[in-house]
């Protein structure tokens, strides 16, 4: 049966765990967004760069994030678990965001590249001033969806001992036999935090779909 006292006692603990969950999501998203762009640009590099990068991306995409977390924790025991969690989630999602960036770059009309070459623009300026502004504009909604997905996968960090929200819920539930209250509140917090973001992403997608 639902116990309001257990719910009230667990809520502050869950909110502290939520702060850690949010921090991991923000930091991991920054890693994924930046590294994903670097990987996408590496796809257009020389063969000796492109092939190893592609192999690494396929390996990361094809293995579960929980296994990656556990492997990193075993191989890097001296690193803080928070650092491991952020790095693994960031690298894992960078493998997916790189494909999003690649699609956005490929969607830039070939005439844009040809015009830049005709004007003898430096390669760095071509990317910074012409290609990336157009590509990133088209992929922002997809990147936002991956951020939401990462937020919902932060509970996997509990396997390496990161005290995020689900980890806190499990500990409180085991100590007070209050799994119903803690897990229900945890689900509600996830919903309250992620649903408005999903709506905002849909609105942003509709706005970006309009012509310049």
Whole-number CA gyration radius for the chain: 21
Residue 19 has pLDDT above 80, yes or no: yes
Give exposure, 138-151, as e/b (b: 16+ Cβ within 10 Å).
Answer: bbbbbbbbbbbebb
Q: Give the position of tokens 């760095």.
A: 124
Q: Helix count (H) and strand count (E) of the chain?
A: 9, 0
13-32 mean pLDDT: 95
**pLDDT at residue number 9:** 93
Q: In this structure, is residue 14 part of a structural domain?
A: yes
**Which range among 20-24, 108-112, 130-134, 195-199 has the greatest average pLDDT?**
20-24
Q: In this structure, is residue 36 part of a structural domain?
A: yes
Q: In this structure, is residue 78 part of a structural domain?
A: yes
* Residue 109 falls in which region: left (phi positive, over 0), alpha (psi -120 to 50) or beta: beta
**pLDDT at residue number 137:** 80
Count structural domains, the chain.
1
Answer whether 96's CB lies under 8 Å from 146's CB. yes
43-52 mean pLDDT: 86
Answer whether 147's CB lies under 8 Å from 29's CB. yes
pTM confidence score:
0.88
CATH of residue 189? 1.10.3720.10
**Cα gap 185→18, rounded to integer Å:** 11
Eight-state DSSP code of residue 111: H
**pLDDT at residue number 203:** 82
**pLDDT at residue number 37:** 92
**How far is it between the farthest Cα atoms of the chain?**
73
Answer whether 136's CB lies under 8 Å from 200's CB. no
**pLDDT at residue number 136:** 82
Residue 36 has pLDDT above 90, yes or no: yes
Question: Of 26, 56, 24, 62, whose CA–CA distance to 38 is shortest?
Answer: 56
Of the pLDDT bands very low, low, confident and very high (cuts 50, 70, 90), residue 210 is low
Q: In this structure, is residue 73 part of a structural domain?
A: yes
Residue 8 has pLDDT above 80, yes or no: yes
Of the pLDDT bands very low, low, confident and very high (cuts 50, 70, 90), residue 163 is confident
- Which residue range(s) make up the domain with 122? 4-207
Residue 212 has pLDDT above 70, yes or no: no
Answer whether 31's CB lies under 8 Å from 94's CB. yes
Ranges 27-36, 139-148, 167-176, 195-204: which has the least confidence:
195-204
**pLDDT at residue number 135:** 83
Q: In this structure, is residue 121 part of a structural domain?
A: yes
Q: In this structure, is residue 212 part of a structural domain?
A: no
pLDDT in tens, 94-139: 999 999 999 888 888 888 888 888 888 888 888 888 888 888 888 8
């Amino acid at each position: 049966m639902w116990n309001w006292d257990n719910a009230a006692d667990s809520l502050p603990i869950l909110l502290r765990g939520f702060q850690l969950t949010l921090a991991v999501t923000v930091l991991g998203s920054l890693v994924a967004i930046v590294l994903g762009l670097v990987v996408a640009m590496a796809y257009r590099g020389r063969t000796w760069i492109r092939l190893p990068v592609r192999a690494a991306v396929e390996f990361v995409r094809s293995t579960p994030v929980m296994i990656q977390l556990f492997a990193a924790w075993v191989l890097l025991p001296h690193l803080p678990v928070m650092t491991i969690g952020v790095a693994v989630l960031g690298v894992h999602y960078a493998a997916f965001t790189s494909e999003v960036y690649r699609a956005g770059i490929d969607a830039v009309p070939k005439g844009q590249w040809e015009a830049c070459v005709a004007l003898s623009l430096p390669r760095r300026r071509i990317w910074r001033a012409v290609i990336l502004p157009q590509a990133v504009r088209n992929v922002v909604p997809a990147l936002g969806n991956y951020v939401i997905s990462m937020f919902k996968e932060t509970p996997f960090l509990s396997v390496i001992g990161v005290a995020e929200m689900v980890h806190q819920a499990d500990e409180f539930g085991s100590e007070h036999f209050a799994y119903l209250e803690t897990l229900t509140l945890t689900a509600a917090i996830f919903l309250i935090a992620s649903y408005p973001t999903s709506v905002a992403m849909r609105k942003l997608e509709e706005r970006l779909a309009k012509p310049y």
